[in-house]
């Protein structure tokens, strides 16, 4: 079975500092996509960043970047220059294969606290 695991229930970071959230996954598929979603207190799920497994280059979106280690099945999210608005629950998610494109498997989530 395909799984996504986030082993850090909670993390905290000082404003303007950098924090890394961990995510590991398990699959035998060769074609898959990985995502990080942010869920602030409003509960809205917001896509932060995505990575295609066939791409070796790590995805970046402004202050957000990933460290995709395919052999280790690891997909961590780095947030640089943390801001108070980054405080939220972060979910790692994956989609496997080339079929149904909306069936995502989510990790358990990491709550990020940003300290002023």
Partner 1 sequence: NAGVMQNPRHLVRRRGQEARLRCSPMKGHSHVYWYRQLPEEGLKFMVYLQKENIIDESGMPKERFSAEFPKEGPSILRIQQVVRGDSAAYFCASSPQRTRSSGANVLTFGAGSRLTVL
Asked if residue 100 binds partner 1 (CB under 8 A), the reply is yes
Rounded to a whole number of angstroms, the minimum distance from the CB of residue 87 to partner 1 is 17
Write the interaction track for partner 1 spanning residues 41-60; mark x where CB under 8 A is met and - where it is not: -xxxxxx--x-x--------
Rounded to a whole number of angstroms, the minimum distance from the CB of residue 40 to partner 1 is 11
- Binding footprint of partner 1, residue count (CB under 8 A): 24
DSSP states of the chain? --EEE---SEEEEETTS-EEE--EEE-S-SSEEEEEEEE-TT---EEEEEEETT--SPPEETTEEEEEETTTTEEEEEE-S--GGG-EEEEEEEEESSS-SS--EE---EEEEEE-
Which residues form the interface with partner 1 (CB under 8 A)? 4, 33, 37, 42-47, 50, 52, 91, 93, 95, 100-109
């Amino acid at each position: 079975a395909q799984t996504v695991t986030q082993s850090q229930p909670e993390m905290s970071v000082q404003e303007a500092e950098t924090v890394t959230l961990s995510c590991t996954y398990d699959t035998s598929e060769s074609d898959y996509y990985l995502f990080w979603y942010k869920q602030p207190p409003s509960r809205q799920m917001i896509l932060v960043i995505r990575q295609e497994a066939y791409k070796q280059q790590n995805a970046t979106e402004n202050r957000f970047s990933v460290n995709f280690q395919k052999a280790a099945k690891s997909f961590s999210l780095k947030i640089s220059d943390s801001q108070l608005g980054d405080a939220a629950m972060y979910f790692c998610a994956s989609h496997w294969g080339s079929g149904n494109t909306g069936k995502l498997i989510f990790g358990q989530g990491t709550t990020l606290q940003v300290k002023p």
